Structure 1
Amino acid sequence: MSVYRPLSHGWTVTALPGDPAVAGVPASVPGCVHTDLLAAGLIDDPYLDDNENRLSWIGRTGWLYETEFTVPDGDFHRADLVCEGLDTVATVIVNGVEAGSAANMHRSHRFAVRELLREGVNTLAVRFDSPQRYAEEQRAAMGDRPGPYPEPYPFIRKMACNFGWDWGPNLVTSGIWRPIGLHTWSLARLEQVRPVITLDGPDGLVRLHVTVERAADVPLTLTARVAGSSARARLAPGETRAELTLRVSDPDLWWPRGYGAQPRYPLTVELAETGETWHREIGFRSVELDTSPDEAGSRFTLVVNGVPVFVRGANWIPDDCFPARVTVERLAERLDQACAANMNLLRVWGGGVYESEEFYEAADRLGLLVIQDFPFACAAYPEDAPLAAEVEAEAREQVVRLAPHPSLVLWVGNNENIMGYFDWDWQEPLAGRTWGAAYYLDLLPRVVAELDPARPYWPGTPYSGDMGLHPNDPAHGTVHVWDVWNERDYTGYADWRPRFVAEFGFQGPPAHATMRRMITDGPLEPGAPGVLHHQKAADGNAKLLRGLGAHLPPPRDFDDWHYLTQLNQARAVTFGVEHFRALAPHCMGTIVWQLNDCWPVISWAAVDGDGRRKPLWYALRRAYADRLLTVQPRDGGLAVVAVNDSDLAWRGEIAVARLNLTGEPLAKDVLAVDVPPRGVVTVPLPPGLATPADPAAEILAAELGEARTLRFFAEDTAVAYPRAEFDATVTPAAGGLLVTVRAVTVVRDLAIFPDRLDPDAVVDDMLVTLLPGESATFRVRTSRDLDPAALTSHPVLRCVNEKGPSHAA
């Protein structure tokens, strides 16, 4: 029989060498030493103030985790200690005897321990050596490699962003970060089940590759079932491998969200002699990566079930520096936030981890496509022993683990390492030493082709498909657009004509309630030490202010800085998304950097480190809508571009008007449009509409059905705004309040920030521009009795022209 017993209770952790103050501390498994010390009150919260600076000793310390357990009753041939995730340099000791060791956070380990067990109480210890010191020793042995940070993360198979990033803290962890347990079994066990799921015409095919581990040379029977189809294989004594094929007649296909439903079918494999079963929910779908040449270069298009998909996505980083804290509920909330912002894809970035089963299960259920980077990011990686063997072992395990998930549509070899080799002055300091090319161009594609042949692989991002091309060539493959944030005004996005944008973004601060929580030891001022500690990007706050440019007035105080930089982030990314979507099908994807944060920080995220939605999130919901109207420059004039990313044609008449600031039409026209499903139509505007008589006092408005876009002919600092006038009323509603705002004058980018009054309050919409006479109703979800006057006045309710012409001048 097969029995698995979790070993999750009774753990303690002790610092090595012994420190009486940090000995026998209660420990959580799964977990890590930082969260254990925090729970015990031995350290301050590393996410608050500059506490991070005083915790570097943790990554330079060894740690001993210990517990006791008893062996399950019954006879068994084998007993294995199953470690799903050890972070990172670990020695496993059972009853005082070493059972095995590990040095890779990204893989699991199984240690045979039957001969080490005894009746009654057994002891289990996991000793973790300092990951910081281990990585430094490996660097000294292999020779340094170039990268953007001085930390030695390329020399250890560990979540790279543990060592700090331009949005994350340096908190180098140790601990048992995924479950650990004792597996006792007899006769045989299912060692590996690897399904290759494809379509054969209207039918679904599942080719199952099953490996068993034996404890006895007896005949074995394997049975597989899915959707009414079954298959059986007999293994003669000594045989350990079998292949079974299941054919499902005309299954319902699994589609990306927005393209169809997400039906899944239970797939079960059973080892009859022991009763052990393997179970997954699978979806039938095909996926291809179209990189065929065309007149402009070469395509980069994901094709699911034969249908090209325009990717409306965001990049995903670890949702917490301490991954064991990321619960199923938290993952569900975060992926629901992605879907609610009209996204259809997340890219799991290469400086984190191979994401969890819970992450992929949620993505499968939601129809949210996933690109999974192999964990290599922003540095030259050595290919020396022992790292090369660890990379192959982790890749083989993780490719097999994630292969059943229909949401996973592309493997990517690395993040920015090929570009680093081309552009970041690596070649001279490398002096011929390895930098990871053999991983991305040889090892990883071979592993994917062998173990997951139904899913495409791409060597890296950015990458143009050939090492003879510059990796960030916009005519081919994927690009990362970072010149805009680092060096240029956000209108610089219009200079790019890419095939697929895998990264681009603009910074903004987190929600006010998040900032108030993260800074407890000083004022909330942009230049305050606590605020600057939570700005990890080089010259980040200077770039925030530079990015306001002529678009918005300079902030007069912290409240202005907070609102205007958040607004500018939303506008910048909206500008980029609309430009790229209007280029379809030349461009077939935008993946914004980034959806989420791992701690409270000023960053590029749409959802901050406390899970609060920034104004960018609301802007993305509009920019990523199935149907989008946008005004774009075309052929020396202006055009309305209608983007229809739905399965139905979009027909009607676009009402276009050039208005003055009081909302009176100066010129107007009606333009017939017929946009096919998944299509884009560009409608040039006549000069009478596209050319203002007074750019400072006119607006262009275009409407088709529920879609509307407004384009101001001048930047806010040059618009002759009237002082905003409006009537605001607050009425009770189920779960909170309704705030109705009726504009007397034009009201530009109206936003309500209820978290200033209740940290848990959420508003359903933001950044709404009202013309005179228009109104909007906002639903505020709160459990508190908020003051209506506070909810409808500065600094909770904001708009660009709230202070009139002097503010916008």
Structure 2
Amino acid sequence: MKHVVQLTEGWRLSHEGKRLEAEVPGCVHTDLLAAGLIPDPFLGANEKEIDWVGRRSWTYTLDLPPTGDTAERTDLVFDGLDTAAELVLDGQELGLTRNMHRSYRFDVTGRAGELSVTFASAYDEAASVRAVTGERPNVYPEPFQYVRKMAANFGWDWGPTVVTAGIWRPARLECWSTARVARVRPLVTVDGTDGRVELRVDVERTAAGTDRRLVALATVAGVTTRAEIDGDSVTLVLDVPGVRLWWPRGHGEQPLYDVELRLLDGAAPLDVWQRRIGFRTVELDRSADEHGTGFTFVVNGERVFVRGVNWIPDDVLPSRITPERYRERLEQTAAANVDLVRVWGGGIYEDDAFYDACDELGLMVWQDFLFACAAYPEEQPLRGEVEAEARENVVRLMPHPSLILWNGNNENLWGFRDWDWEEPLAGDSWGEGYYLGLLPRVVAGLDPTRHYTAGSPWSGSWDHHPNDPDHGTYHSWEVWNRQDYTEYRANVPRFVSEFGWQAPAALATLRRALPGEDLAPDSPGMLHHQKAEDGNGKLNRGVARHFDLPEGDFDRWHYLTQVVQARAVATGIEHWRANWPRCAGTIVWQINDCWPVSSWSAIDGDGRLKPLHHELRRVYADRLLTLQPGPDGPELVLCNQGSELWATDVTLRLMHTDGTLATRLSLGRDVPAREVLRLPVPPEVRPADGGTKEYLVADADDLRALHLPVRDKEFDYPAPRFDIAVETVGRDTDTVDVVVSAHTLVRDLLLQADRLAPHASADRGLITLLPGEQTRIRVHGAAGAGANVVRAALFCVEPA
């Protein structure tokens, strides 16, 4: 039986003539941090102080002992080397690597001695490749398109420039005889309730095992089959009756089945391969209709409006992301009623723990191949690396039922058309051959059970603009960059795979990341932790369109930017959900951060929830009530994404700003499952166009929608008045209920719990109360917080 020795102990890192203890998996930065030799790059402007780390070479060493094993073969295996490395064992070269996104295997049978792994600077590697391929355009001043490495290491408009190197995934020795399982491709299909698993198995043999007649034995859900292997490959088919279907969260359960493949020499076990699978069907309806070209996922025969988020690496030092951290972040994601996570193309193919958690939580995964925002050369040495990387990761991720789509790239097809690339390229390769040739061939050949799309955005062919809202997927960035968020309502894309709005991190996160700084929107640390071009200018303009921009009041500015972020994203989602099935999904940019920063995230770099997270939970819930502009005035829209009929009574109230009721009426309505009901608001409850003293409130069950005929700074808000009480919950003195009783209209009330204590959290985001209403906000981690302390952490909209 194969014997595995994990290589986690005894590694050393050479630094200025000294050998430091090194952690594997890890990277140079984590080792230097542990030794106290560099400052934390996440604090202040320390990012600038460690730039030198990514610009020099580094050597890891390990005394590789004799295995003392009777095995015929010993392999040295690395699941990830970041990135360009030379490996030497006992003075003899083992090999060279140049791809962070691949694994590597070296035959070290009978060998021992000092193993050294020397990493070249990624900048030097990029320069050597660029010298061969020539220049290519890029939206950032960093050379990430010349090296198969996490592009975001070189900085992004939400991330620092921290260029890593190191043994970033596990290393081990594998000792085996006769044969081993080299690769298994599980093709999982289902017809009704009858499942089928085809295991395409490749084996590697030793010289002594060349002529051995081997046996492959496979089991799933109590079904077993076996096959003899005469050569190096075999296919086993397991028909499994009565399977339970895997569904995205909100649509059903997520049953998973264990699959085991055993490789035998007679009765003697040689190797074993184990995974979990799920049975489901996924179709992608890209058919043409009267609106253009659709892009609708159909899961188990059911058409789905996707409630998605974009995912970036959760740490700029990805070796620090543990399975527990993946689980926590993805549970936070699922708690926002998200059902799809898009793994963005400037990051990494995540660890198996990420996809395992998505399988269990019912989070569909849209997986980008790793190309983003640049023209990529298609010549060697990159082309061979791209193909090897794609083949390995397609096979690695195939077992996961959560994986529903392969995507060729992020924004590169759009970039070629709109970002002035064609003239400087002058006919040179730029990646089109990858996205429209190589990658779809790899997916079709290895994973024919899943769909492939060439890019995000992509209209489906060059017959249409790559970012045409009427065809395929669409990125909506003009609104954030130049317009008011109400402009999200200007069109109805078929599928919005990126859009978003910025806000700063939580206050406790900012205080940790910027110690001692007198916080202001333009204070040095705040500006350093704002990587977007004119990011603060766009934040300020976004606020100023709706509110008076506060001068010299950081706390108020911080609150209003959070309000605008939440409102902006909600405006887009409510509008696009109201236009289902023409629009078939939204993927918000972005759910998470890789460090403490002002960004588009709903969860900040310290894992704290922004108000946007709570707003996503509302607008991504199965049932959504919203008031939308119509050609003849406001319209009432009820979206029912649940599996059952929604029978509800809607109450519409026309309210005066002084708290008195002008008109009230009720409507009983039934909304079928997976459908949208759109109704004109009756004239008697509509506020006058341009009026500043009336507003419309719609309530249905526990849902509420508001319509003001003018923007906030033009509306005649009353001075907000409310009472506060703090009640301890049971015997848990660490948990309290903050009870707020409103005497006036209180718009977008927000309790920023981290102002009470850095670890405190609240269960609610933005809340609007009418006069006489009361709400409870449960706060964990707020021991000893009194009403006066809580009041200082409460914010709401105030009169202009």
TM-score bin (small chain): over 0.9
Residues 615-630 of structure 1 mapped to structure 2, 5 A cutoff: 615-630=611-626
Is the counterpart of residue 747 in structure 1 residue 742 in structure 2? no
Aligned residue type for 1:137: S
Name the CA distance, whole Å, in 2 between partners of 1:4 and 1:467: 50
User: Are the structure 2 counterparts of residues 693 and 662 from structure 1 closer, same or farther at C-alpha, using a change threshold of 3 Å?
Assistant: farther
Aligned residue type for 2:187: V
Residues 110-125 of structure 1 mapped to structure 2, 5 A cutoff: 110-117=105-112, 122-125=113-116
| Offset, 1:691 | 3.5
Aligned residue type for 1:244: L
Which region of structure 1 is more displaced relative to structure 2, 680-689 or 368-377?
680-689
Residues 545-556 of structure 1 mapped to structure 2, 5 A cutoff: 545-556=540-551
- 2:718 is aligned to 722
Matched position secondary structure for 2:345? coil
Aligned residue type for 1:779: R
Residues 28-43 of structure 1 mapped to structure 2, 5 A cutoff: 28-43=23-38
* Contact 1:290/1:302, CA 8 A, preserved across alignment: yes
Name the CA distance, whole Å, in 1 between partners of 2:351 and 2:632: 50
- 2:196 is aligned to 205
- 1:631 is aligned to 627
Matched position secondary structure for 1:510? coil
Name the CA distance, whole Å, in 2 between partners of 1:249 and 1:265: 13
Is the counterpart of residue 798 in structure 1 residue 792 in structure 2? no
Which region of structure 1 is more displaced relative to structure 2, 693-702 or 198-207?
693-702
- 2:775 is aligned to 776
| Offset, 1:101 | 1.6
Name the CA distance, whole Å, in 2 between partners of 1:514 and 1:439: 40
Residues 501-516 of structure 1 mapped to structure 2, 5 A cutoff: 501-516=496-511
| Percent identical residues | 52
Name the CA distance, whole Å, in 1 between partners of 2:309 and 2:260: 33
- 2:588 is aligned to 592
Name the CA distance, whole Å, in 1 between partners of 2:121 and 2:642: 52
Matched position secondary structure for 2:440? helix
Aligned residue type for 1:789: N
| Offset, 1:321 | 0.3
Matched position secondary structure for 2:155? coil
- 2:222 is aligned to 228
Residues 131-146 of structure 1 mapped to structure 2, 5 A cutoff: 131-146=122-137
Aligned residue type for 2:6: P
Name the CA distance, whole Å, in 1 between partners of 2:535 and 2:229: 62
Name the CA distance, whole Å, in 2 between partners of 1:770 and 1:329: 38
| Offset, 1:694 | 7.2
TM-score, normalised via structure 1 length = 0.96
* Contact 1:254/1:263, CA 8 A, preserved across alignment: yes
| Offset, 1:660 | 1.1
Instruction: Report Cα offsets for 1:231-271 as digits up to 9, x if no partner.
Output: 111012xx000001000002000000011000011000000
* Contact 2:69/2:175, CA 8 A, preserved across alignment: no
Name the CA distance, whole Å, in 1 between partners of 2:787 and 2:744: 22
Name the CA distance, whole Å, in 2 between partners of 1:740 and 1:124: 63
Matched position secondary structure for 2:572? helix
Is the counterpart of residue 343 in structure 1 residue 338 in structure 2? yes
Matched position secondary structure for 2:215? strand
Counterpart selection for 1:711 from 707, 717, 727 = 707
Is the counterpart of residue 324 in structure 1 residue 319 in structure 2? yes
* Contact 1:298/1:476, CA 8 A, preserved across alignment: yes
- 1:533 is aligned to 528
* Contact 2:687/2:695, CA 8 A, preserved across alignment: no
* Contact 1:689/1:700, CA 8 A, preserved across alignment: yes
| Offset, 1:714 | 2.2
Name the CA distance, whole Å, in 1 between partners of 2:165 and 2:491: 43
Name the CA distance, whole Å, in 2 between partners of 1:200 and 1:724: 59
Instruction: Report Cα offsets for 1:157-198 as digits up to 9, x if no partner.
Output: 000000000000011000000000000100000000110001
Aligned residue type for 2:149: K
Aligned residue type for 2:252: G
* Contact 1:378/1:420, CA 8 A, preserved across alignment: yes
| Offset, 1:35 | 1.0
Which region of structure 1 is more displaced relative to structure 2, 363-372 or 128-137?
128-137
Instruction: Report Cα offsets for 1:563-605 as digits up to 9, x if no partner.
Output: 1111111111111110111110000100000000000000000
Residues 303-314 of structure 1 mapped to structure 2, 5 A cutoff: 303-314=298-309
Residues 241-252 of structure 1 mapped to structure 2, 5 A cutoff: 241-252=233-244
Instruction: Report Cα offsets for 1:378-424 as digits up to 9, x if no partner.
Output: 00000010100000000000000000000000000000000000000
| Offset, 1:783 | 6.0
Instruction: Report Cα offsets for 1:742-764 as digits up to 9, x if no partner.
Output: 00111111111121231100011
* Contact 1:49/1:521, CA 8 A, preserved across alignment: no
* Contact 1:553/1:716, CA 8 A, preserved across alignment: no
- 1:804 is aligned to none
| Offset, 1:790 | 1.0
Aligned residue type for 1:395: A
Aligned residue type for 2:755: R
Counterpart selection for 2:372 from 347, 361, 377 = 377
* Contact 1:145/1:430, CA 8 A, preserved across alignment: yes
Name the CA distance, whole Å, in 2 between partners of 1:493 and 1:455: 31
Name the CA distance, whole Å, in 1 between partners of 2:205 and 2:782: 58
Aligned residue type for 1:297: G
Aligned residue type for 1:661: T
- 1:759 is aligned to 758
Counterpart selection for 2:141 from 150, 169, 173 = 150
| Offset, 1:670 | 2.0
Counterpart selection for 1:497 from 489, 492, 496 = 492
**Aligned length in residues:** 790
Name the CA distance, whole Å, in 2 between partners of 1:243 and 1:687: 68
Counterpart selection for 1:698 from 690, 694, 701 = 694
Instruction: Report Cα offsets for 1:634-669 as digits up to 9, x if no partner.
Output: 222111000001000112321111111244321222
Counterpart selection for 1:163 from 154, 157, 173 = 154
Instruction: Report Cα offsets for 1:503-546 as digits up to 9, x if no partner.
Output: 00000000000100111253211111111000000000011001
Instruction: Report Cα offsets for 1:55-83 as digits up to 9, x if no partner.
Output: 11111110001122433333111110010
Aligned residue type for 2:172: G
Aligned residue type for 1:248: V
Which region of structure 1 is more displaced relative to structure 2, 729-738 or 308-317?
729-738
User: Are the structure 2 counterparts of residues 694 and 138 from structure 1 closer, same or farther at C-alpha, using a change threshold of 3 Å?
Assistant: closer
- 1:181 is aligned to 172
Name the CA distance, whole Å, in 1 between partners of 2:419 and 2:347: 22
TM-score, normalised via structure 2 length = 0.97
Matched position secondary structure for 2:226? strand
Name the CA distance, whole Å, in 1 between partners of 2:689 and 2:658: 15
- 1:805 is aligned to none
Instruction: Report Cα offsets for 1:6-65 as digits up to 9, x if no partner.
Output: 1011111114xxx24xx2111111111011111110001001111111211111110001
Name the CA distance, whole Å, in 2 between partners of 1:694 and 1:657: 18
* Contact 1:521/1:530, CA 8 A, preserved across alignment: no
Counterpart selection for 1:667 from 653, 659, 663 = 663
- 2:450 is aligned to 455
Counterpart selection for 1:603 from 599, 602, 625 = 599
